[in-house]
Structures are given as structure tokens and as C-alpha cells.
Amino acid sequence: MEAKEHQKQPYILIWVILLVLTLAELGYAFMDLPKIVLAIGLIGMAVWKALLVALYYMHLRYEESTLSRFFSAGFILAISLYTLVLTALGVLAVRGG
Amino acid sequence: MNHSATAVMDPRHPMPGMQVYNLKLGMWIFLLSEVMFFTSLIGSYIILRFAHPDHWTEPGVVLNVSLTAVNTFLLICSSVTMVKAFAAIEQGDQKGLKLWLLATILIGASFVGIQVFEYTKLIHEGFVPNFAAYTAEGANLYGATFYLMTGFHGAHVTIGVLCLSFVLFRAMKGAYTSESYGGVEIIGLYWHFVDLVWIILFTIVYLL
């Protein structure tokens, strides 16, 4: 195994941050704000939490750069492709096409 | 067969240039396919919601956000117990490995139990993905997409609990050491991914 340096990682600190962000999400979700402001804030917090899990608990932050680049590129490509296709489908759906 | 060819086929050795052993590489490739799978579900949900906003209600009207917040809390806790199991075996702590794995299994099973309770309650209240109700006004697409997304995620959690139980069984037999703990690391990656997906689903399905 290549990753003995994981032993001193801030797992509990990340757990606390995840819990605080979840509580912040719950409070923010029921504030009287425009829907777009709510959506941006909530998705921003969710992405932040997901990144913390991927970087620290899945150890992507400490992986060899080849692996990180390989999967980051694949992930960005997959998300971009889906965004393009689903946006096109969404436009068609809204137009009734 | 020469030495390098043997190394490539051996799941414990890295592929040339990847610096990561093959089982782990395989799990990462599987997780990338899972990213595409869940992105499809979430993307379809967003399109349907934009196209038919009348089928959805405001957050908290139909779905029990408080109960699901507890479930979210549980899954986040299970991620930390899983990573603690991994950290324990890295240090050769067999007792710690078994205890943290058991905690992860129990928390994961609790998540599934609460989800079953939530489904039972919602179905009893009439929130069903009923095909016949698709043309009717109300919670039709909402119900269908809700059960589809949370159901697939719940299935992933259930499979994760079963795999974790297998890893715990192997740990009881002393299969893992501080030099050989690939099985713990691989199931850990899967479990954290399931947590990561839930973080996104919770926001999109329950809070928006």
C-alpha cells in the first residue's frame, strides 16, 4: 500500500466541518430568499461537502498526481458531456419539442 | 510469462505508469461509471422539474426534511467511522479495524432502516410513484423521480453494508494487516462515494 501518510489526517475536523455545513444547509434552505439565491447557496455548500469527502476521506488529495489527473479529467469530461446533452434535452422539453 | 507481465496481471501490483494497485484502479474506474449513472439521474430530475414545476411542492411539505437530516447525519458519521477503520489497519490495529467496521455497518443499516420507515410513511400518505397517476395533477413526476433516485442510492447503501459485513468477516479471520489492507481501502472508497452522492441528493431532492 502506498499511503502511510494518511495516518495523521484531520478526519475528525473534516467530520465537524461536514456537520456544520449540513446544519447551515438546513437553516439556509428555509430562509425567505429568492429561489435562485437559495439554489446557488445550497448547491455551493453541497459541492463543498462533496469535495471534502473526495479529497480527505477518499484521499484524492494525497494520491499520486497521475491518478488524480486521470480521474479529474474523466470526471470533468463526464460532467461536461452530461451538462451539454441534458441542457439540450432540457431546452427541447421546455419548448415542447 | 516475464516478470513485468506477471506484475501487470497481479491485482496487488500497479499498472505501469499508474502508481496505484490494480484493484484500486478498478474501483476508481467503477466509481467513474457511477458518477455518470447518478449524473444521468440527477440531470433527468432537473430537466423534469424545470419542464413540469407544477408537479413539485415546496421543501418540507411532502418529504420529512428533519428525518432525512438525521439520516444525512448518520451517513456522514459512517464515513468517519469507515476512514477510522482504514486508519486503524494502516497502523496494524486489528481491534480498531473490527470496531470501526462494525460501527460503520450498524450506522449504514440504520440509514437503510430509516429510509424504509420514510418510504412506508410516504406511501401510507399517498405519495406513490403510481403510473396511472401520471396524467393527474399533483405529485406524479415528483414521486417517480424521488423513489427512483433515493431508491437507487438506498440500494447502493444496502450493497455497501453487505460488502462491509464480508470485509468484517474477513477481518475477524485476520485477513488484513498493516502491509495488506486493500480490501478495506477499496470498500472504503465505495462507501465514501455513496456518502458523497447522498450529500448531493439530499440538497437537490429534499432542500430545493
| Distance separating alpha carbons of residues B201 and A42, to the nearest angstrom | 11
Residue of chain B nearest A60, judged by CA positions: B189
Do the Cβ atoms of A66 and B19 come within 8 Å?
yes
What is the tens place of the pLDDT at every residue in A63-97? 777 777 777 777 777 777 777 777 777 677 666 65
What is the tens place of the pLDDT at every residue in B117-133? 999 999 888 888 765 55
Residue B172: how many other CB atoms lie within 10 Å: 13
* Optimal mutation site among A11, A55, A83, interface B, most CBs of chain B within 10 A: A11
Residue B147: how many other CB atoms lie within 10 Å: 17
Question: What is the average per-residue pLDDT within A30-48?
Answer: 89
**Which range has the worst mean pLDDT, A4-13, B128-137, B179-188, B195-204?**
B128-137
What is the tens place of the pLDDT at every residue in B23-62? 888 898 899 889 889 988 988 888 888 878 878 888 888 8
| Distance separating alpha carbons of residues B118 and B114, to the nearest angstrom | 6
pTM given for the model? 0.86
Give the number of beta-carbon pairs within 8 Å between A and B.
Answer: 132
Cell numbers of B53, please? Answer: 414545476
Q: Which span out of A7-11, A32-36, B20-24, B173-177 was modeled with the highest average pLDDT?
A: B173-177
| Distance separating alpha carbons of residues B86 and B187, to the nearest angstrom | 10
Sign (positive/negative) of CA torsion B194, B199, B204, B205?
A: positive
> Is A39 at the interface with chain B, CB within 8 A?
yes
Place of cell 468484517: B168
**b/e per residue A16-34 (b: at least 16 CB within 10 A):** eebbebbeebbebbeeeee
The minimum CA-CA distance between A47 and chain B, rounded to whole Å, is 7
Set of chain B residues whose Cβ sits within 8 Å of the Cβ of A19: 73, 76
pLDDT, chain B, mean = 86
Do the Cβ atoms of B18 and A53 come within 8 Å?
no
> Is A88 at the interface with chain B, CB within 8 A?
no
What is the tens place of the pLDDT at every residue in B84-104? 999 999 999 999 999 999 999
Place of cell 460488502: B163
| Distance separating alpha carbons of residues A33 and A43, to the nearest angstrom | 15
**Amino acid B6: pLDDT:** 44
Name, in order, each residue with C-beta under 8 angstroms of B116's C-beta and a sequence gap of 6 or more: none
Set of chain B residues whose Cβ sits within 8 Å of the Cβ of A93: 47-48, 50-51
Do the Cβ atoms of A75 and B82 come within 8 Å?
no
Do the Cβ atoms of A53 and B192 come within 8 Å?
yes
Do the Cβ atoms of B51 and A7 come within 8 Å?
no
